Amino acid sequence: MAGAALALEAVTKAYGRQPAVDGVTLAIAPGERFALLGHNGAGKTTLLKLALGLTRPDGGRVETLGTLPGSPDWTGAKRGIGFLPENVAFAGAMSGRETIRFYGRLKGVGRAACEEALAQVGLAGVAEKRVKTYSKGMRQRLGFAQAILGSPRLLILDEPTGGLDPDSRRAFHATLAGLARQGTAIVLSSHVLTEVEAGTDRVGIMRRGRLAACGTADELKRRAGLAVTIRVAVRPGGGARLAAALDGRPATRINDHAVEIGCAAGEKRVLIERILGLGDEVEDIEIVPPGLDAVYARFGGAGREGAP
């Protein structure tokens, strides 16, 4: 784990008799965008608190930016961390600019960096307005601005896109990509799985305090062994030949000329060749791999055991 921006080794944390984090080992590299998924109560927030030094582990070891939280070097290390909590709260009577300058003083960055952060999140034009006049999305962007102040080496984001419109979400992920290229390690906890799949390098799925699965989205899809969906549309009158080509395989009817078939990844090629053998009777064929939502249900569902 040498050189990791965040490293946890066999970390445990319990509240009373209830384990919140149970033997988690994980390393996140500089420049990596890591998504943390899990049902409510899975241990995500506790893990983030451990990384931030807001709570101490009962066992194991946590290193954030090469430093043990709470150690003599921790005060200096904290300046390299940016954090956006799930629910942001600011003094409503202060302007956006006053707010960001307040956080700038805490982080030891100058006014130029504050103005740059406001511009990055699209609030430069409303920086003089009081925060109490901001919409939920604007307050969320202000929270993101304070998190990225000073180009942090580690950025921790808890449900960061709540309240953002589609344009703001695209801008948010573009900013994250730019920070990652500069070497910032990013840990993002989110329930918006479509964004996670498109905007992160690796995914960790927690279940009941344990890391049930960890890898790239493609790796987890392969490990989950989920069915691939094939959608086929045929010309009128081609249904009988399609049924023969499927050789009794169950198919779900979409409309009067299209069906969906589920098949294991290893069966895909043979099945597609049989369908294409129908020639001109096939109007369209689409292969739909399992999405991250299906992978999450496989490994992180609250009511079933996740695979290790």
pLDDT digits (tens, 9 = 90+) for 192-233: 887 788 788 999 999 999 999 999 988 898 888 888 888 998
Q: Would you place residue 2 in the very low, low, confident or very high pLDDT band (cuts 50, 70, 90)? A: low
Residue 146 is predicted with a pLDDT of 96
pLDDT at 142 over 80: yes
Q: Are both 195 and 237 inside the same structural domain?
A: no
pLDDT at 1 over 90: no
Residue 62 in any domain: the answer is yes
Q: Are both 169 and 218 inside the same structural domain?
A: yes
pLDDT at 117 over 80: yes
The CATH number given to whatever domain includes residue 261 is: 3.30.70.120
The number of CA neighbours under 13 Å toward the Cβ of 93 is: 0
pLDDT more than 70, % of the chain: 96
Average pLDDT score, the chain: 89
Euclidean distance between the first and final Cα of the chain, in Å? Answer: 20
Are 172 and 268 contacting, i.e. CB atoms less than 8 angstroms apart? no
Domains: count for the chain? 2
Residue 294 in any domain: the answer is no
Q: Would you place residue 130 in the very low, low, confident or very high pLDDT band (cuts 50, 70, 90)? A: very high
Q: Are both 48 and 20 inside the same structural domain?
A: yes
Both structure tokens of 153: 């080496």
Residue 99 in any domain: the answer is no
Both structure tokens of 191: 């329930």
| Average pLDDT, integer, range 86-104 | 94
Residue 303 is predicted with a pLDDT of 46
What is the distance between the alpha carbons of residues 118 and 141, in angstroms, rounded to a whole number? 9
Q: Are both 156 and 253 inside the same structural domain?
A: no
Q: Are both 279 and 236 inside the same structural domain?
A: yes
What is the distance between the alpha carbons of residues 204 and 217, in angstroms, rounded to a whole number? 9
pLDDT at 52 over 90: yes
What is the distance between the alpha carbons of residues 161 and 179, in angstroms, rounded to a whole number? 17
Residue 244 is predicted with a pLDDT of 81
pLDDT at 77 over 70: yes
The CATH number given to whatever domain includes residue 39 is: 3.40.50.300
pLDDT at 307 over 50: no
Q: Angle formed by the axes of helices 292-300 and 217-224, to 10°?
A: 60
Whole-structure pTM value:
0.84
Residue 155 is predicted with a pLDDT of 97
Residue 269 in any domain: the answer is yes
Q: Would you place residue 289 in the very low, low, confident or very high pLDDT band (cuts 50, 70, 90)? A: confident
Residue 267 is predicted with a pLDDT of 82
Q: Are both 218 and 164 inside the same structural domain?
A: yes
Domain that holds residue 254: 227-289
Residue 291 is predicted with a pLDDT of 84
| pLDDT one-digit tens code per residue, 227-285 | 888 899 888 877 777 888 887 788 887 776 788 888 887 788 888 888 888 888 888 98
Q: Are both 256 and 195 inside the same structural domain?
A: no
| pLDDT one-digit tens code per residue, 163-182 | 888 898 899 999 999 999 99
